[in-house]
A and B are shown apart, each in its own frame.
Chain A
Amino acid sequence: MNTPDSTNTYPHAPGFVAGDRPRIVTSRFEYSDSYTLQRYLATDGYAGLRAALGRPANEVHDEVKSATVLGRGGAGFPAGTKWGLTPQGVFPRYLVVNGDESEPGTYKDRLLMERDPHQLIEGCLIACYAAGLSQCFLYIRGEMALAQERVAAALNEAYAAGYVGKNILGSKFSLDIVLHWGAGAYVVGEETALIESLEGNRGMPRLKPPYFPAAIGLYGQPTIVNNVETLANLPWLMRNGAEAYTAIGTKTSPGTRMVAVSGHVKRPGVYEIINGVTTFRDLIFNEEYCGGIRNGNKLKAFVPGGGSAPWFTEDQLDVAFEGPQAGAAGSMLGSGAVMVMDETTDIPAAALTLTRFYAHESCGKCTPCREGGTWLERILSRIVDGKGTDADLAQLVEVGTSICPGDFPHASSKRLGLDAVPFPYKMNTICFVGPSAYAPINSALVLFPEEFAARVTKRNMIPVTAVGAAS
């Protein structure tokens, strides 16, 4: 029972390859019954919780802080520091788990919830214990039916077995976990929009400041919003300690992270890579991971961190998975989604696919995103249809500048002799959805101008003869 079940694989999540790399969150993925309490308990399940409950809460908090568990949702803010932002003595305070994973190309949290829901539940328990949070809300994206089913079943098991509820494991610690299923809006992945949605309002981001919901969040109370993968790290961390955790990866980005690869690679899927060590070249070309580009084609470009991240090309293959490195190179690691495009890719069409998504998902609250996103989509689709003009190309940049003033980040290009513009961008919008609609266009225009030039209609100049010049 304790050996991986190789006969039962998951056809919908290919790409996972067992190996001797450190595995913090995907350690149970090869078991076909990995989502059951029985399997979980047989593989160190809830041992991290037991270890945590045996220590004072502030010690657990300090341990997480010293491990520098970076948020895996996109911004990469250290979880331990985030927990410390809640004001003292204000109760109740909540943990909200952001399971509304909807960035294009990202599906790591879905797998974590489908295959190892108990690990997430244990992570929630540890986080609430350490940060003194009184209730946990687990927000799962509306479309993730299997994840919803598995987490709900796991939660029932956990309640029945006394891991969740009153006086957990005989301690004084009690916690309720409430499941909430979203209705399918991309912007709800933004933490304040998620809180609005959870409260029953329209999923629209709240205005900043306050920049973090830590002080005023759900129902106006102090609230910590953590990503699924962030919390899934905690059981391992509690079992093995911060020292073992920071031994993996680099000093500034310790541990591992899950990367969802899609596109033109031989073996797309979710891989647990080592922070700051594994490079994009390793991920895309290493046999251990994706095994190279399909059909032996050449790499044209790749999106390093979800649909809203500026694109990289082969020039950036040696960038390692570390936020500052990617930022300096002109993009971001974001939600850990890599989309690979080979030489056959139609770049303007690829940009249109992504832009269309963000234009559609705009919540409509602020002008630049609501009006600008759709405008970009319409200009670009005209260009893709071969009906665009040079003026349209210029207009794309103009509309983009109305959304994001100043230079938009992009990668360097040896081929074009371009230097990188580092992350982040400035924005005229409330949240990042508006800039995300422009990000793929900017990358495509900057890195592949010739593909657009070939696409636009060229007017033949009618030769003009000066009056009187004839004869």
Chain B
Amino acid sequence: MTTTEPTPEIAVDPNAVNLTINGRPVAARKGELIIAAADRSGDYIPRFCYHPRMSPVGMCRQCLVEVEGPRGPMMVVSCMTPVAEGQVVRTETEQVKRAQEGIIELLLANHPLDCPVCDKGGECPLQDQAFSHGPGESRFIEEKRHYEKPIAISDLVLLDRERCILCDRCTRFADEVAGDALIHFTSRGNNTQVQTFPDEPFSSYFSGNTVQICPVGALTAQPYRFKARPWDLEKTESTCTTCSVGCRITLESSRDELLRYQGVDSDPVNHGWLCDKGRFNFESVKSDARLSNPLVRDGGSLVETSWSSALSTAASLIRSAVNAGGASRVAVLGGARGTNEDAHAWARLTSALGIDSVDAQLGDGLPADVLSYPQATIDEAARASTIILLAPDLKEELPILYLRLRDASEKKRSRILEFTAKESGLTRYAWKTVPYLPGTQPAVVASTLADAPISAQMATGSVVVVVGRSNLAESDEYTMAALDAVMTAHPNATVLPVLRRGNVRGALTVGLGRRDAVDILADAVNGEIDCLVLVGADPIGDCPDTELARRALAAIPNIIAIDTFATASSSKASVLLPAAAFGEKDGTTTNLEGRVTRLARKVTVNGTSRPDWMVALELADVLGHDLAMASVSDVHADLVSSNAAFASATRSALSAHPDGVVLEPVRSSSPSRVVPPAAERPGFGYRLVVGRKLYDNGRNVAESPSLAPLAPGSALHMHPLDLERLGAADGASVKVSGDRTSIVMDVKSDDSVQRGTVWAAWAQPGANIGELIDSTKWVNDVKVETL
């Protein structure tokens, strides 16, 4: 072995590439495409098919540039050609100009140029680039292509094939990003067109993204069609709080009316994508069913009143409950749907009053100490070599997280090891899917992890456990015990908790998770609660044990509800206060990985609605507790200074980082846990699994006219062989019985359900499966009979 002189300090980066674009030196990375390098150097190259989040296809040929080659300048497509050391690129020569103008002319040849009536006109890449890089006029005098315009390719998206320039963006998105290859090119040559398969609509949860990335007006979304011209839209950046992924979005309004949400490319979170529920539920903000004025019960009915009188009634209800039996007679549920400031103001108020019965979840999540495990971010999960899923169906509950994990698997970065009671959206991308019967999850996880091939895989790199509530009809302790089994086997694993409500993590972090809601409701049934405050919470609709919630609310004399809509629970309220909705208030939110981002107000509130934080501060005032805060920025400042977890989420930090600031880790000692008993096989009937579908009868779907019809409706899903044994036909009505009661549901044949179990979706229009869930039981079994 020969010794060499130590290398000088100047380390040569093996991935650095130096090239010249239009005579200026540009530093790039190996593998980067010329078009991306040119974007950074400020040499804009026109493009249609290229999209930085999808693989290049080189179809539109608009990005042709000149590259110096051994035999003189060559025309190459810059979206397909990687940079190379010493490469000389020219984007503005006569030849390039001629080629780019030629392509624009060809693209416009069959384009209808109906810009004056096109929704895209004003923000259209074809229009813009026809001006900036086009020849100025067309010499095409032939008759243009004609198609029926537009055709509905799904319930939400319409396609105008005359405007389409066949760039493959939507079809590529559907196939590559969403995994729903339901639209495709058909026919060929000049008749090539985007189409769905016959009788199979483009019913993807991500269809709205195709509208956003369409470089022309070919794809339009039903909720926005003909609602505004782009130059009339005012935009502000915010964060979606429909679920806890926290996608960055722009709120776009005209004449003080929300008209559209668009995805913003946030590298750590959503990569520019949105799910259709998040994208289109702005309709619910302007629903006529919104509460607009405070209501106070007078005799039997709720009567409109002023804020001051409603607040003093509410305060007197709380005061008299406290006076009668102490703060333990008052409970507060909710706070996970608002902002961090909303939650913090309520945490301060409840602390000031000494109220301990506080929970932001409604027995449908996981114990709050899931946040005390070593935490992982979404990026860390999507880079982990092994992703363990102890989670619900992410495609249904947290669609963008599903996209990120699907991508991790598709790009071969990660292997997914899934433990599930029913096949999920990620099952087809999972490396291994281990089914378990509800009640056996910890044992199944422990024994699976002991397998040699599994531990060999786990040893290849980082392990992230994605953990959430996968079955509402089973105790959450099983999932926690399963998580502990993973952590015992792999102490270096990190945890990504996937609690689903928009700001549940923020609410729990500010202290709105002091007692389990199920225990609070049980107390109420026993007559131990006199006053219940519902902060955007609907226990009857959200608590898995419907019977428990109904009895609890019936037993509580006084209920104060703060909500955007009247709900099953708020109809029992003595005081009903209208709350400002998303898009109507400023603040910050915390996503499931603990990322704090800003949320913005775009439109004025509905009626006299007020944000939750303001209600808390005013109630505090009436109750004689001066919290010394008067504005949302006061509340934010108080949060940052009083809560160590939020120390870095200052106003200036959030302004500097639009992608947000991740909460400081807060370690607490692991609490002692009840070890759930391993459940026997169901003695009679079937073990019940209750999960969620993206579209349900939750308010922001039900009050969005475009989304409401998409809820699949209530049905009992059974394995086809179980169905055969039962002797029921697919679609027949059956009687489903638990210990307490029976309900009648339609049965659906579904081979993603395990034999011996039945699956039903939570909160669907139709029969309510919650009637059969008894939260005092470890697992719930049901009997199914034909009618």
Question: A: which residues have CB within 8 A of B?
Answer: 185, 202, 207, 359-368, 370-375, 378-379, 391, 395, 398-399, 401-402, 405-406, 426, 428-430
Could you jot down 30 A-B contacts, CB within 8 Å? A207-B57, A207-B58, A207-B80, A359-B189, A360-B189, A361-B188, A362-B188, A362-B190, A363-B189, A363-B192, A364-B185, A364-B187, A365-B192, A367-B60, A367-B166, A372-B106, A373-B190, A374-B189, A375-B106, A375-B140, A405-B75, A405-B95, A405-B98, A405-B99, A426-B74, A426-B75, A428-B61, A428-B64, A428-B103, A430-B59
**Neighbouring B residues of A401 by C-beta, 8 Å:** 98, 102
Query: Closest Cβ of chain A: how far from B678's Cβ, in Å?
Result: 45
Query: Does B148 lie at the interface of the complex (its beta carbon under 8 Å from any beta carbon of A)?
Result: no
Question: Could you tell me the distance between the alpha carbons of A368 and B165 in the complex, rounded to whole angstroms?
Answer: 12
Known contacts A405-B95, A428-B61, A428-B103; A364/B191 CB under 8 A:
yes
Query: In whole angstroms, how far apart are the Cα atoms of A144 and B433 in the complex?
Result: 47
Cα distance A375–B141 in the bound complex, in angstroms: 10
CA distance A117 to B168 in the complex (A): 41
Q: Does B680 contact A (CB under 8 A)?
A: no
Q: Is the CB of A430 within 8 A of B64?
A: no
Interface check B110, CB cutoff 8 A: yes
A367, chain B: closest CB distance, angstroms: 5
Query: What distance in Å separates the Cβ of A386 from its nearest Cβ neighbour in chain B?
Result: 17
Residue in B closest to A185 when the chains form the complex, CB atoms: B188
Q: How far is the CA of A359 from the CA of B190 in the complex (A)?
A: 8
Query: Contact: B61 with A368, CB < 8 Å?
Result: yes
Which residue from B80, B95, B139 sits with its C-beta under 8 Å from A398? Answer: B139
The 0/1 profile, CB within 8 Å of A marked 1, for residues 124-161 of chain B is: 00000000000000011010000000000000000000
> Given A398-B139, A402-B102, A428-B61, do A371 and B109 touch, yes or no (CB 8 Å)?
yes
How far is A375 from B108 in the complex, measured between Cα atoms in Å? 12
Q: Which of B323-339 contact A (CB under 8 A)?
A: none
Contact B107 A367 (CB under 8 A): yes
- With A364-B189, A364-B190, A367-B166 given, can you name 19 additional A-B contacts, CB distance below 8 Å? A202-B185, A359-B190, A360-B189, A361-B188, A364-B188, A364-B191, A367-B60, A368-B106, A372-B106, A373-B190, A374-B189, A378-B142, A402-B103, A402-B106, A405-B95, A428-B61, A428-B64, A428-B103, A430-B59
A366 B61 Cβ-Cβ under 8 A = yes
| Alpha-carbon distance between A391 and B166 when the two chains are bound, in angstroms | 29
Say whether B237 faces chain A, with CB atoms less than 8 Å apart. Answer: no
Q: Interface residue count for B (Cβ, 8 Å)?
A: 34
Contact partner, A373, options B107, B139, B189, Cβ 8 Å: B189
Q: Which of B95, B99, B107, B139 contacts A371 (CB 8 A)?
A: B107
Q: Which has the most chain B C-beta neighbours within 10 Å: A185, A367, A399, A401? A: A367
Q: Assess whether B283 is interfacial by the CB under 8 Å rule.
A: no
Interface string of B620-646 (1 = CB under 8 A from A): 000000000000000000000000000
CA distance A406 to B58 in the complex (A): 21
* Nearest neighbor of B192 in chain A, beta-carbon distance: A364
Contact bitstring B92-113, A, C-beta under 8 A = 1, else 0: 0001001100110111011000
* B106 CB to nearest chain A CB (Å): 4
From B102, B105, B189, contact of A370 by CB (8 A): B189
- Chain A residue numbers with a CB within 8 Å of B187 are 364
Q: How far is the CB of B305 from chain A (nearest CB, A)?
A: 65
Q: Work out how many contacts link A and B, with CB atoms closer than 8 A.
A: 93
- B residues near A, CB below 8 A? 56-62, 64, 74-75, 80, 95, 98-99, 102-103, 105-107, 109-110, 139-140, 142, 165-166, 184-185, 187-192
Question: Closest CB of chain B to A378's CB: distance in Å?
Answer: 5
Nearest chain A CB to B94 CB, angstrom units: 10
What's the minimum C-beta distance from A290 to chain B, rounded to whole angstroms?
Answer: 34
Determine the chain A residues whose CB is within 8 A of the CB of B109 once the complex forms: 371, 375
Q: Is the CB of B59 within 8 A of A366?
A: yes
Assess whether B189 is in contact with A430, with CB atoms less than 8 Å apart.
no
A374 touching B190 in the complex, CB below 8 Å, given contacts A405-B95, A430-B58:
yes
CB contacts (< 8 Å) of B75 on chain A: these are: 405, 426, 428
Chain B residue, CB-CB nearest to A434: B61
Q: Give the top 8 A-B pairs by smallest Cβ distance, nearest first.
A: A364-B192, A402-B102, A362-B189, A371-B106, A374-B190, A378-B142, A364-B188, A207-B58
In contact, B166 and A364 (Cβ under 8 angstroms)? yes
Q: Given the complex of chains A and B, what is the CA–CA distance between A139 and B126 in angstroms?
A: 40
Report the bound CA distance from A365 to B187 in whole Å.
11
- In the complex with contacts A207-B57, A405-B95, A368-B188 CB distance below 8 A: no
Q: Smallest CB–CB gap between B517 and chain A, Å?
A: 52
Q: How far is the CB of B176 from chain A (nearest CB, A)?
A: 14
A186 to B630, CA, bound (A): 74
Point out the residues of chain B lying under 8 angstroms from A378, CB to CB: 142
Q: How far is the CA of A378 from the CA of B144 in the complex (A)?
A: 11
Q: Which residues of B contact A359 (CB under 8 A)?
A: 189-190
B59, B80, B98, B165: most-surrounded residue (chain A CB, <10 A): B59
**What residue in chain B is nearest A398 (Cβ atoms)?**
B139
Nearest Cβ in chain B — how far from A104, in angstroms? Answer: 16
- Whether B106 pairs with A363 at a CB distance below 8 angstroms is no
Taken together as a complex, chains A and B put the C-alpha atoms of A373 and B189 apart, in Å, by 9
Partner of A375, one of B60, B98, B142, B188: B142
A399 partner residues in chain B, CB cutoff 8 A:
106
A361-B190 Cα distance, complex, nearest whole Å = 9
Min Cβ gap A408→B in Å is 14
Chain A residues with Cβ below 8 Å from B190 are 359, 362, 364, 370-371, 373-374
User: Which residues from chain A contact B103 at a C-beta distance below 8 Å?
Assistant: 367-368, 402, 428
For A428, what are the chain B residues with a Cβ–Cβ distance below 8 Å?
61, 64, 75, 99, 102-103
Q: How many Å from the CB of B299 to the closest CB on chain A? A: 70
User: Roughly how many angstroms separate A405 CA and B61 CA in the complex, as a whole number?
Assistant: 13
Q: Is A365 touching B59 in the complex (CB atoms < 8 A)?
A: yes
Contacts of B107 in A (CB 8 A): 367, 371
| B140 and A366 contact, CB distance less than 8 A | no
Identity of the chain A residue whose Cβ is nearest the Cβ of B60 in the assembled complex:
A367
Interface centre among A361, A398, A401, A405 (most CB of B within 10 A): A405
Contacts of A406 in B (CB 8 A): 95
Contact of A402 among B74, B105, B142, B188 (CB under 8 A): B105
Residues of B within 8 A of A379 (CB): 142
B164 to chain A, nearest CB (A): 11
Closest to A426 in B: B75
A402 to B75, CA, bound (A): 12
Contacts of A364 in B (CB 8 A): 166, 185, 187-192
Known A375-B109, A426-B75; contact A368-B192, beta-carbon cutoff 8 A: no
Given A364-B187, A395-B139, A401-B98, A370–B166 Cβ distance below 8 Å? yes
Q: A406 vs B64: C-alpha distance in the bound complex, in angstroms?
A: 14
Q: How far is the CA of A361 from the CA of B191 in the complex (A)?
A: 11
CB neighbours of B99 from chain A (8 A): 402, 405, 428
| Distance between B497 CB and nearest chain A CB, rounded to angstroms | 37
Cα A373 to Cα B142 with chains together (Å): 13
Assess whether B110 is in contact with A371, with CB atoms less than 8 Å apart.
yes
A456 to chain B, nearest CB (A): 15
Docked-complex contact B61 and A367, CB < 8 angstroms: yes
